[in-house]
Each structure stands twice: as structure tokens, then as C-alpha cells.
Structure 1
Amino acid sequence: MTQPLVIFDLDGTLLDTASDLIGAVNRVMAEEGLPPIDPVTYRATVGKGGRAMVSAALGAAGVEAEVRLLDRLTERFIDQYIRHVAEHTRPFPGAMDALDRLTAADVRLAVCTNKREVLAIELFEKLEILERFVVICGGDTFPVRKPDPQHILGTIEAAGGDPATTIMVGDSAADIDAARAAGVKVVAVTFGYTDIHVSELGADVVIDHFDDLLPALAALSPALADKLDAKA
């Protein structure tokens, strides 16, 4: 049987990246002589990607997000972000313990994120957790990205997994819709970046803390349950 695989989204699932992402947007806004966005009000935009964040910031400042302007400022946002990629970013509470326990149980771990692959790898390297994952697939790794199911299926293939023994963990409609379309079960976390509560998005299980992840995985997958029981 193929070794069980757990795939994680990054922003809003494994890592709380909001402060560094919004900080990068606000540095670009300052360079343009425009007002910053409020980190609390615009937290949900983090899950939509850098371009959407820049567009929202321009809209809040009353500036039309014309395509060439948006292209230019998005590239400057990326430049600012990579300089400060791990300044305030930290794993969500319990995340590292959950990864440790899954690794100890011989469960393979991967990441499927809409973040650019180079940014995801840089961030994991800065936080010294890159080696925990067999593969990191970003939003530009394949021709498509979530919610397209091929993003998840491509990640599974790259990790040497099987959709039948894979579970996706995410925080957004893109994660859940992609997993559903790929035929993969999905656990949703409530502490991520979405303006619609994940309980309304059709996940198999919803958890409020990483302490609840392993029981959720075991409930969804007999193969994972066996692995975790054997290690207990």
C-alpha cells in the first residue's frame, strides 16, 4: 500500500504569514505616498494572494487598480516580501508538534500552496522546517493552481502518493474545492484567512487547533489511523 500522505496549505494553515504579507503591501503603499491598509480589516485578503492584496490596498486608497500599475506594484510587493519573508511569520500553535508526530509515524508530508514556489521554499528555509516535507509545490510549479484539482494531483504525484491515501489540510474554499475535485478528503482549519467560515465550505472535518489534527486524520483514513496507533 502507498505510504499515507498529508498535504498542507501554507498561508493561514501551517503558518501565520499575515503580518509579513501585509507589511510588504504597506511598504509599497508608503513608497507610492498612499495610506496603509489595516492588518485586521484586510487579514482575509491574505489568502487571495499578493496581487489581490495590492489591488485591495489600491482600492482602499481610492486608486484604480489599472493593469500596468497593478503589475508593477505586485512585483515590488514580491521584492519587499522576500526581504522580510520570515520577520514575523510563525507556525500556528501546535503545528510543529503535529508535524513531528506525523513524521514519527512514518507519514509523508507535502505542501501545496498558491504562493510562488521560490517564496514558499525561502520561507521554509528561513524557519528551518524545509526538510520536513518531501515536496513543496507552489502556485507556479504547474500550469494550474488551486482551486484546480490538478494542483493537488500534481503534488501527490511529485510526492509519490496516491489520492486514495492522501488528505489535504487547508483554510479556504480554494483548498477545499481543489481537494474535493481531486477525490481527496480534506480537513479545514478555522484560524486561517477567509471571509467565509470554513464550516460552510464543505470540508470533511473542521478543526480549531492543531491539537485536533491527528484525531481528525485518523477518523478520515484507516491507513493513517493504523500508522498513528502503531506509534502511540
Structure 2
Amino acid sequence: MGTVVFDLDGTLADTSGDLLEAANSCFRSLGYGDLLTSEDAGVALRGGRMMLRTGLARVGRAEDEAEVDRQYPALLAAYGNAICVHTYLYPRAMEAVTELKANGIAVGICTNKPEGLAVQLMTELGVLDEFACLIGADTLPVRKPDPAPFHACVTGCGGDPARAVMIGDSDTDHNTARAAGVPSVLVTFAPGGAEPMRALGPDALLDDYADLPGIVARLLA
């Protein structure tokens, strides 16, 4: 049996709106107002600390890692309190998951979002039970691009790490696949855009989830 492992943020769902709001709540508490806009969606998908660093840099505090550390727990709390207001699953993502499972492919999630928040989000989206395993940033002592979380996800799905595919939207996902010795499929519709994904040289680019079952069949053949 083959296994498909999905990243979450920017791959299965566009979570940028709620992430940006959580970061801006921190900046408002510091008296700066909103420092990030919808144009920073790509920054949001690189994680909470990156959002904090980006915003603080805009008010002359680019090197203030102490403030990043102070604000990070507040960001996570704010995000957890409003995790699924603006977030949405990408079109046809779950239809592709259903078709993969019908074809005998196991599906799981390996994300650098904290596990508790990832479980909360997928539960609120109503699709957690569609995935056989979910590995978050803090499930293991290491996170992507270390291949250990990927391997744990595959085995948690009952699969063989040698017969698996990684679906993602970043160099982190691509490097995870390379470290694990499996094919890398990168989506072109995340906020980061298609060209940076193409430049990484993945085994396949995914423009539409309707194409994913065919891509997976080819890569696992």
C-alpha cells in the first residue's frame, strides 16, 4: 500500500488569514496596530515566529528576538481562540483524499504546526477523521525537514516509508521528501506562488487537486 503525506498550512488549507490576525493581535497589544496585511500571506505560512519577526522589523525591531519569544505564546493563544474564521480547504482537496483512499492509498498529515492546534483545526474543518495519522511540530523531538516526522506519519498510517509521497508548498516540504528519499509534489496555488516551487525541482507540480490521484499513481508505479 502506498501512502500520501500532506503538509497542512498552504497545502491542504489556506490558513493565512487567521494566522495573520493572531500576529496582528500581538502587535496591537504592543501599541503598533496591524503590521501585517493580506499581502503577507506567504510570511504567515512560514510560521508564527516569522510573522513576529517580519512585523517587528517594520517598526525598527528586526533583531528583537526577546520580544519574539515573549509574544509567541500570546500568538498561539490568540490563534487557538480563532483558528477557523478565515481558513478554508483548497478546492477539491478532500475529493482527492477520498479518491486516493478508494484507490487503496493511505493518507496522513505531517505539519510544522503544533499538534494540538493542527488537531483542533482539522476537527473544526470537519475532516480530521479522513486522515489515518497526524504528526505535528511537537509530536517528536524534531520537525520537518528532518525526515523522522514524515517516517512516523507513514508508519502511523500503516504504510511503508519507501512507498510514500510528500505533498507540500515549501522548501521545507521538498527537503523533507528528499531527506526521506521519496517523491516531492509541490502545490502551485499557495500564497508563495508557483515559480518558487518550480525552481525547487520537485518530482511533480500540482496545479489542481483533481490531478493528484493520477500524479500519485505515476510516482508510486
TM-score norm. by structure 2 comes to 0.94
Report the AA paired with residue 157 of structure 1: T
2:18–2:84 CA contact under 8 A, matched in 1: yes
The whole-number CA distance in structure 2 between the counterparts of 1:108 and 1:160 is 8
Contact 1:7 1:110 in 2 (8 A): yes
* 3-state secondary structure, aligned to 1:42: helix
Any residues of structure 2 matched to 1:112-123 within 5 Å, and which?
Answer: 112-123=110-121
Query: Which amino acid letter does the alignment assign opposite residue 78 of structure 1?
Result: L
Sequence identity, in percent?
A: 37
- CA deviation profile, 1:55-103 (whole Å, cap 9, x unmatched): 1111122224423311111110000000010111110111111112122
Classify the secondary structure of the residue corresponding to 2:186: strand
Residues 1:99 and 2:97 are matched in the alignment = yes
What is the SS of the residue equivalent to 2:162?
helix
Deviations 1:165-202 (A, max 9, x none): 11110010000111111111111101124376100112
* Alignment equivalent of 1:71, drawn from 36, 59, 69: 69
Residue matched to 1:31: 29
| Match status 1:155 vs 2:140 | no
Q: Check the 8 A contact 1:35/1:61 in 2, yes or no.
A: no
Structure 1 runs (4+) deviating above 6 angstroms are none
Tell me the equivalent position of 1:11. 9
Unaligned runs of 5+ residues in structure 2 are: none
Secondary structure at the counterpart of residue 111 of structure 1: strand
CA RMSD of aligned residues (A): 1.5
Bigger Cα displacement from structure 2, 185-194 vs 131-140:
185-194
Distance between the aligned counterparts of 1:151 and 1:192, measured in 2? 22
- Describe how 1:212-223 pairs up with structure 2 within 5 A: 212-222=211-221
Instruction: Encode CA deviations 1:4-62: one digit per residue, 9 max, x unaligned.
Output: 11100000000010000001111111111113234333111123211111111111222
For residues 142 and 169 of structure 1, what CA distance do their matches in structure 2 show? 20
Amino acid in the other structure paired with 2:216: L
**What residue number does 2:203 align with?**
204
Q: Could you list the per-position Cα deviations for residues 104-145 of structure 1 after superposition, in whole angstroms to 9, with x for gaps in the alignment?
A: 223211000000000000001111111011111001111111
2:51 maps to 53
What TM-score results when the alignment is normalised by the length of structure 1? 0.90
Which deviates further from its counterpart, 25-34 or 74-83? 25-34
Amino acid at match of 1:177: N
Structure 1: gaps of 5 or more residues: 223-232
In structure 1, distance between residues paired with 2:158 and 2:35: 42
Q: Secondary structure at the match of 2:45?
A: helix
2: CA distance between counterparts of 1:42 and 1:211?
A: 28
How many aligned positions are there? 220
The aligned residue for residue 189 of structure 1 is 187
Cα distance in 1 for partners of 2:158, 2:59 equals 46
CA contact (8 A) 2:186 2:204 kept: yes
Distance 1:189 1:129, change over 3 A: same
Structure 2 letter corresponding to 1:67: E
